[in-house]
């Protein structure tokens, strides 16, 4: 609106301005036109006035010269004119033309006639003589052939000085005399200084020849006729012209200047008359002259005075246009005033129009606005309708069931159900519309949460509940039910909208999550979390009841073997089966949980005495010991159990579990497949284990690790051909600690990598030292642990050890277990090949205890198979073991592998092995593993008896 008003104001101002400019332009045009007319009128007037003056001057001069002609006519008619006659004739003429200075007769006198002539004239004029002016003085004329003597001159007063003057001597006559005589006409001289006024006044003479009468036939040309003299009229030129103009009253014009030249052009030297001031410069510093002054063009004219050209210039004085152009000024002022009036009128007119337009446009805008509002209202209504339709459609296509029922209690009759409801429940709309809302929930089912919905309906408010609902076919689903009142336009609750969400899947998922959070995924038994809950609850209950509570820690024996040999899948299968068996062995109300690995913790609450509890333990052992078939292999697994009793062995879950664990270890130490009840002494052993853990970290840096060496003997020659390096820990408190007690621990703690590297390096250095010392060149076997074998540093540490020691690689043999090489065959092949490229020997240790695929075995780049000492031990007592040993020897040889039997303790064992082609033997029968010095001594006295 503000813009609009501003535009209106601008258009009004522009219109008024245009009107003003147009008016001013017309005014200027009018002003210029009027001024042009005025200027022209003034120019015309000036021209007229100038012409008047020119005519007055030229006419006056002609009249004056006419007088000379009259006098001349006298002489030419009368012939001899006496002085008196001349006087009387010229007197009236001079009276009538006072502007005539003088009229004279000049006679031609020859020098011969001079004396007579002068004498004759003295008779009438006593001092008469022919004279001339010499140096401003009147002197007798010098002798010349002819003289032109002023004989008569009238009026004498003022002019008498000229009587007798020889005008022939005057140069000022110029050639006027000769021209006059030649053409016989009145001829004027140029301007000359009049002697009468001693040169103070300028004048001119007009000469007319006087001819000898009798000798002058009229037919003769003037030049041929005899001249006796001239009549002359003397004019004081300024006086003459002034008189002419004054008489005509033409000198009262002060703004006009008149310059008359006795020549054909404006020559300053011939200025005969001048009147009036010269015009001022018609310009100003700021404005051009034409704008300020009216400057009439000078009027010039050329006229003849007695045959001589005269020039007259009449110049008008520039007049200020303010003075000279009243009309144009009136026109200008009037025009400006009119323009202003017109502009004002236009302004008011346009303003009015603008106001009208503004009002009109405001009203139009208001109308448009109203129209817009109307359009918007319509659009809004359309949008609302569209939105309603959209919502209807949304409800129609909604994946969630929607019911609309009226708010009339107690029926709350259903008025609408959407297709999702039909799909969810199996009821079609026609089956439920008009029915009570309650009927949709069915009867006879557990509806404890429905009370919230019933209350919401009763109290006419929103409600929400998760209820169990039932389909038409009777199947149930979890229903997340929302109910909300719907108000009509008057604000009264007319309906309820019920939204149903089938959250069965969510409920299942939640149940699943809860299950997973509390159960072991592999076995389905309770996990640590649920165990903690159950145990705490059982302790609290036992505390309240004052009863005992058993916590049993179960660990499977030889599970690691199965897991390592058959792989994790087989291990998992075993755990699942055994977990189920344990679960089946306990009573309802007992808790069986899996802690991870092959460890299970049981909570047996309310056991009144040893009897019942011990029976449960036995049932568990029996169940676990049942033969187990996995991947076509039959296993016989046992378990070791530790029992902690509440409240005697602890009053909280952690203590009881820990003590049960300690007791389980004790059972293991007792030879496995048994159970042990916790007793406080067991803590000491556990503490020792913890101590070992702590000290092991520093064993290497404290140089507490040493290698013992056990010789390997060639069965054929009885010579020591190799040795096995076996690790020992010289513990400062515990003494020599067996690797059986700390290797597994070192694996768990990750210390096996640096410890293993140390073993390889030390073994290589020792072997090389011995070789350098001159001992026989022997093969040094070194045990690798599983973690060491798969570790990325193995090749490096082997290579470094060989390089550092300088030992040839063929004198180093690396022992791997079956389980190590079989767990990941392809990776094993890669590692073995790289080791083989170094040149070392590779042996499979403890062969026969695990599961080896022959096809894989043939792919491994091996050198040696070591028969496990358990088979060697039983050679003499069990046919199976002997058969196994024979098979292994045969197998190894078929694979072109050397066979070493370890754990040989008796001659019988040696004999058996020799009989069946075993290549090398190792065992207490020959030597226990011994320190380096002892081994040197052993070598020095080596005389092995093979019998």
Interface ranges with ligand LFPHGCPZ (CB under 6 A): 710, 724, 726-727, 738-740, 743, 759, 783-785, 845-846, 869, 902-905, 923-924, 929
Q: Is 13 exposed, middle or buried (0-12, 13-18, 19+ CB in 10 A)?
A: middle
Nearest one of 322, 328, 264, 262 to 293, comparing CA atoms? 322
Q: Are 885 and 923 in contact (CB under 8 A)?
A: no
Q: What is the DSSP letter of 673?
A: S
What 3 state SS string does 678-731 have? CCCCHHHHHHHHHHHHHHHHHHCCCCCEEEEEEEEEECCCCCEEEEEEEEEEEE
* Residues 279-315 as b or e (16 or more Cβ within 10 Å = b): beebeeeeeeeeebbbbbebbebebebbebebbbbbb
* CA 637 – CA 561 distance, rounded (Å): 10
Cβ contacts of residue 37 below 8 Å, gap of 6+?
327
Q: Measuring CA to CA, which residue among 509, 496, 414 is closest to residue 457?
A: 496
Q: Which is nearer to ligand LFPHGCPZ, 279 or 756 (CB)?
A: 756
Q: How far is the CB of 790 from ligand LFPHGCPZ (least distance, A)?
A: 13
Nearer to ligand LFPHGCPZ, 328 or 783 (CB): 783
The nearer residue to ligand LFPHGCPZ, 272 or 904, going by C-beta atoms, is 904
From the number of C-beta atoms within 10 Å of its C-beta (0-12, 13-18, 19+), residue 484 rates as middle
Least distance from C-beta 909 to ligand LFPHGCPZ, angstroms?
Answer: 9
* Shortest Å, Cβ 637 to ligand LFPHGCPZ: 21
Cβ proximity to ligand LFPHGCPZ: between 480 and 813 the closer is 813
The least distance separating ligand LFPHGCPZ from the CB of residue 729, rounded to whole angstroms, comes to: 10
- In 3D space, the residue among 460, 619, 592, 450 whose CA is nearest the CA of residue 524 turns out to be 592
The neighbour count for residue 796, using CB atoms within 10 Å, is: 11
The CA–CA distances, whole Å, from 600 to 175, 547, 575, 591, 660 equal 171, 23, 10, 10, 11
C-alpha distances in angstroms, 878 versus 163, 875, 883, 912? 207, 6, 9, 13
Provide the minimum distance between the beta carbon of 831 and ligand LFPHGCPZ in the complex, in angstroms, as a whole number.
16
Nearer to ligand LFPHGCPZ, 250 or 910 (CB): 910
Question: What b/e readout covers 184-197, taking b as 16+ CB neighbours within 10 angstroms?
Answer: bebbbbbbbebbbe
Q: Which residues pair with 603 in a beta bridge?
A: 551, 591
Residue 682 CB, nearest approach to ligand LFPHGCPZ (Å): 24
Rounded CA-CA distance 401/500 in Å is: 5
Smallest distance, ligand LFPHGCPZ to C-beta of residue 777, A = 21
Phi, psi of 316 (to 5 degrees): -90, 145
Minimum CB separation from ligand LFPHGCPZ for residue 905, in Å? 4
Rg (C-alpha) for the chain, rounded Å, is 81
Please say which residue, 121 or 785, places its beta carbon nearer to ligand LFPHGCPZ: 785
Show Cβ contacts of residue 414 under 8 Å, excluding neighbours closer than 6 positions.
403, 404, 405, 432, 433, 434, 435, 436, 437, 440
**Angstrom distance (rounded) from CA 509 to CA 515:** 9
From residue 87, alpha-carbon distances to 103, 148, 165, 211, 457 in Å are 10, 20, 18, 20, 163
Nearest residue to ligand LFPHGCPZ, by Cβ distance, number only: 923
Q: Which is nearer to ligand LFPHGCPZ, 75 or 559 (CB)?
A: 559
Name the residue nearer to ligand LFPHGCPZ (CB basis): 649 or 846: 846
Query: Considering beta carbons, is residue 695 or 815 the nearer one to ligand LFPHGCPZ?
Result: 815
* CB 839, min distance to ligand LFPHGCPZ, A: 21
Residue 728, both tokens: 């020992």
Element (H, E) at 549: strand 549-556
Shortest Cβ 684–ligand LFPHGCPZ spacing (Å): 23
- Shortest distance, CB of residue 502 to ligand LFPHGCPZ, whole angstroms? 60
Report residue 44 CA to chain centroid gap: 81
84 vs 98, 124, 150, CA distance in Å? 20, 10, 15
Element of type H or E holding 922 = strand 920-922
Long-range contacts of 721-724, Cβ-Cβ distance < 8 Å, separation of 24 or more: 721/778, 721/779, 721/920, 722/778, 722/779, 722/780, 722/781, 722/813, 722/920, 723/778, 723/779, 723/780, 723/781, 723/935, 724/780, 724/781, 724/782, 724/783, 724/815, 724/902, 724/922, 724/929
Q: How far is the CB of 900 from ligand LFPHGCPZ (least distance, A)?
A: 9
Q: Are 771 and 777 in contact (CB under 8 A)?
A: yes
Q: Among residues 576 and 873, whose Cβ is nearest to ligand LFPHGCPZ?
A: 873
The three-state secondary structure class of 303 is strand
By C-beta, is 637 or 843 nearer to ligand LFPHGCPZ?
843
Min separation Cβ 623 and ligand LFPHGCPZ, Å:
31
Which residues make beta-bridge pairs with 629? 634
CB of residue 798 vs ligand LFPHGCPZ: minimum separation in angstroms? 14
The least CB distance from residue 846 to ligand LFPHGCPZ, in Å, is: 5
Are 946 and 910 in contact by the 8 Å Cβ rule? The answer is yes
Kindly tell me which of 616 and 726 has the beta carbon lying closer to ligand LFPHGCPZ.
726
By beta-carbon proximity to ligand LFPHGCPZ, the closer residue of 565 and 783 is 783
Give the DSSP H/E element, type plus range, for residue 51: helix 2-78
Q: Which H or E element spans position 311? A: strand 308-316
Nearer Cβ to ligand LFPHGCPZ, position 60 or 850?
850
Question: Is 263 or 784 the residue whose CB approaches ligand LFPHGCPZ more closely?
Answer: 784
Min CB(709)–ligand LFPHGCPZ separation in Å: 11
**Smallest separation (angstroms) from ligand LFPHGCPZ to the CB of 741:** 9
Least distance from ligand LFPHGCPZ to the Cβ atom of residue 747, Å? 8
Judged by CB, which is closer to ligand LFPHGCPZ: 151, or 813? 813
Rounded Cα–Cα distance for residues 947 and 913 (Å): 12
Q: Residue 401 or 725: which CB sits closer to ligand LFPHGCPZ?
A: 725
Q: Which is nearer to ligand LFPHGCPZ, 219 or 703 (CB)?
A: 703
């Amino acid at each position: 609106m503000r813009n609009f008003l501003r535009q209106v104001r601008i258009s009004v101002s522009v219109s008024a301005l245009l009107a003003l400019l147009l008016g001013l332009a017309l005014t200027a045009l009018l002003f210029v036109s009027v001024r042009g007319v005025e200027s022209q009128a003034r120019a015309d007037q000036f021209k007229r006035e100038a012409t008047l003056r020119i005519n007055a001057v030229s006419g006056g001069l002609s009249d004056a010269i006419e007088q000379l002609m009259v006098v001349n006519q006298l002489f030419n008619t009368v012939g001899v004119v006496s002085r008196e006659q001349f006087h009387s004739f010229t007197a009236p003429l001079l009276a009538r033309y006072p502007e005539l200075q003088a009229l004279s007769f000049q006679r031609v006198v020859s020098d011969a006639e001079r004396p007579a002539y002068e004498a004759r004239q003295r008779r009438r004029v006593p001092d008469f003589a022919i004279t001339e002016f010499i140096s401003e003085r009147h002197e007798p004329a010098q002798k010349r052939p002819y003289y032109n003597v002023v004989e008569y001159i009238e009026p004498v007063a003022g002019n008498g000085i000229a009587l007798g003057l020889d005008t022939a001597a005057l140069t000022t006559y110029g050639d006027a005399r000769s021209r006059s005589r030649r053409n016989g006409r009145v001829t004027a001289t140029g301007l000359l200084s009049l002697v009468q006024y001693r040169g103070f006044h300028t004048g001119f003479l007009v000469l007319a020849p006087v001819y000898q009468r009798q000798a002058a036939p009229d037919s003769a040309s003037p030049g041929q006729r005899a001249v006796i003299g001239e009549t002359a009229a003397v004019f004081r030129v300024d006086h003459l012209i002034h008189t002419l103009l004054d008489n005509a009253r033409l000198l009262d014009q002060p703004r006009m200047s008149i310059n008359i030249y006795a020549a054909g052009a404006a020559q300053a030297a011939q200025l005969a008359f001048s009147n009036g001031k010269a015009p001022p410069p018609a310009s100003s510093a700021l404005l051009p002259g034409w704008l300020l002054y009216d400057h009439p063009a000078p009027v010039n004219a050329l006229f003849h005075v007695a045959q001589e050209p005269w020039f007259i210039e009449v110049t008008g004085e520039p007049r200020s246009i303010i003075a000279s152009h009243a009309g144009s000024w009136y026109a200008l002022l009037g025009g400006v005033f009119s323009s202003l009036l017109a502009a004002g009128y236009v302004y008011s007119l346009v303003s009015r129009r603008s106001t009208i337009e503004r009002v009109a446009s405001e009203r139009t805008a208001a109308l448009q606005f109203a129209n817009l509002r109307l359009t918007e209202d319509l659009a809004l209504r359309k949008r609302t309708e569209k939105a309603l339709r959209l919502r209807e459609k949304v409800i129609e296509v909604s994946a969630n069931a929607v019911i609309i029922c009226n708010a009339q209690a107690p029926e709350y009759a259903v008025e609408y159900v959407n297709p999702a409801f039909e799909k969810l429940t199996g009821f079609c709309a026609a089956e439920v519309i008009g029915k009570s809302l309650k009927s949709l929930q069915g009867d006879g089912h557990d509806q404890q949460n429905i009370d919230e919905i019933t209350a919401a309906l009763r109290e006419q408010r929103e409600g929400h509940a998760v209820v169990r609902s039932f389909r038409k076919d009777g199947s149930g689903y979890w229903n997340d039910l929302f109910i909300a009142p719907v108000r009509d336009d008057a604000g009264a609750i007319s309906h309820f909208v019920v939204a149903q969400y089938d959250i069965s899947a969510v409920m299942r998922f939640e149940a699943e999550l809860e299950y997973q959070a509390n159960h072991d995924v592999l076995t389905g038994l309770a996990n640590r979390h649920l165990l903690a809950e159950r145990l705490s609850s059982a302790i609290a209950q036992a505390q309240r009841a004052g009863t005992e509570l058993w916590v049993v820690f179960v660990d499977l024996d030889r599970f690691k073997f199965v897991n390592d040999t058959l792989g994790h899948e087989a291990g998992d299968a075993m755990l699942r089966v055994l977990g189920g068996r344990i679960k089946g062995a306990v009573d309802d109300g007992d808790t069986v949980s899996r802690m991870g690995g092959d460890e299970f913790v049981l909570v047996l609450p309310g056991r009144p005495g040893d009897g019942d509890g011990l029976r449960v333990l036995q049932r568990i052992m029996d169940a676990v010991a049942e033969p187990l078939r996995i991947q076509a292999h039959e296993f016989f697994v046992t378990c070791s159990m530790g029992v902690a009793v509440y409240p005697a062995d602890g009053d909280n879950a952690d203590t009881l579990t820990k003590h049960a664990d300690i007791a389980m270890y004790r059972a293991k130490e007792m030879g496995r497949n048994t159970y042990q009840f916790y007793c406080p002494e067991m803590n000491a052993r556990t503490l020792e284990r913890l101590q070992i853990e702590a000290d092991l970290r520093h064993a290497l840096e404290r140089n507490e690790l040493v290698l013992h060496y056990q010789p390997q003997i060639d069965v054929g020659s009885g010579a020591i051909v190799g040795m096995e390096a076996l690790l020992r820990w010289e513990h400062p408190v515990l003494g020599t600690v067996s690797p059986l007690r700390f290797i597994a621990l070192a694996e768990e703690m990750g210390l096996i990598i640096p410890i293993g590297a140390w073993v390889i390096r030390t073994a290589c250095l020792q072997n090389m030292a011995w070789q350098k010392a001159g001992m026989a060149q022997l093969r040094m076997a070194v045990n690798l642990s599983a973690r060491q074998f798969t570790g990325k540093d193995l090749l490096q540490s082997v290579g470094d050890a060989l390089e550092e020691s300088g030992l040839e690689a063929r004198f180093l043999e690396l022992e791997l277990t079956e389980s190590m090489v079989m767990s990941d065959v392809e990776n094993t092949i890669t590692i073995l090949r790289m080791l083989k490229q170094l040149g070392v020997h590779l042996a499979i240790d403890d062969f026969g205890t695990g599961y080896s695929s022959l096809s894989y075995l043939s792919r491994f780049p091996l050198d040696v198979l070591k028969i496990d000492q358990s088979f060697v031990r039983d050679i003499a007592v069990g046919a199976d073991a002997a058969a196994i040993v024979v098979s292994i020897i045969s197998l190894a040889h078929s694979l072109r592998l050397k066979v070493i039997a370890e754990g040989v303790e008796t001659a019988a064992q040696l004999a058996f092995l020799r009989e069946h082609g075993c290549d090398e033997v190792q065992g207490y029968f020959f030597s226990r593993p011994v320190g380096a010095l002892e081994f040197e001594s052993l070598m020095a006295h080596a005389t092995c008896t093979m019998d």
